[in-house]
Amino acid sequence: MRVPQWTVLFLADLRAVTEQERIGPGRATWLVATRPGVLATLLLRLQGAADQRVGAPLLRALNHLLTGADFVPGARIGPGLRLEHPNGLVVGAHAVVGANASLCQRVTLGERLGDNRGPEHPVLGDNVFVGAGAAVLGPVRVGCGARIGAGAVVLHDVPAGAVAVGNPAEIARRRTPRSRPRSLV
C-alpha cells in the first residue's frame, strides 16, 4: 500500500518538532491537539492533497480561522516544517520553502508590489530560520542555513549561511551552512 504524500510530509514535520523538543513518539499525537503550529502544518498538508477548487480553499480558511496561518494554494513547502506560533503567518502562492525550515509568527513570504514582472515569490533553501515579523518579498533567494532576523524586510538575495537583519535587511554576518540544497531549491 502506498502512503499518501501529504502523510509523509506531515510525519516529517511532526518528527522535526518532536526532535527539537525531545518528545517521545508516544506523546507526539498530543502535539496535534495542543500546539497550533503542529495543527497548522497538518492542515497545510491536507490542503496540498485536497481538490484545488473546493477542498483546498476550505482547508485554507479553516487553517486561518483556527491557527491564524494563511498558506495560499500553490506554495511548495518541503518536509520538516516547524511553526512555533503560526499566528499571522502568510505564505504566497508561488513561494518555495526548503526542508527543515522554521517560520515564526507574523512572517510573510510574498510578492513585492510595484514589480511589472508579475507575481514572483521568494525561494528559501533548506534549514532556513525566519524570525518573528520578518517579511521576505519578491523574487528573493535565501540560501541554505541562512537566518533572517526578527522584523527584517528582505528585498535582496541572502547567501547560504548568512544572517540578515534590519529594514531593509543587510547581511550582518556569514556562517557555514549546515546542508546542501536538496529538495525544492
Q: Write out pLDDT tens, residues 95-117.
A: 999 999 999 999 999 998 765 66
Query: Which residue, 76, 102, 107, is CA-closest to 178?
Result: 102
Q: At what angle do helices 36-49 and 5-21 cross, to 10 degrees?
A: 160
pLDDT band at 185; cut points 50, 70, 90: very low
Average pLDDT, the chain: 87
In a domain, 59, yes or no: yes
In a domain, 18, yes or no: yes
The answer, yes or no, to whether residue 143 has pLDDT greater than 70, is: yes
Write down the pLDDT at residue 15.
Answer: 84
- Return the active site residues: 85
In a domain, 108, yes or no: yes
User: What is the CATH number for 127?
Assistant: 2.160.10.10
Range of the domain at 109: 5-174
**What's the total number of domains in the chain?**
1
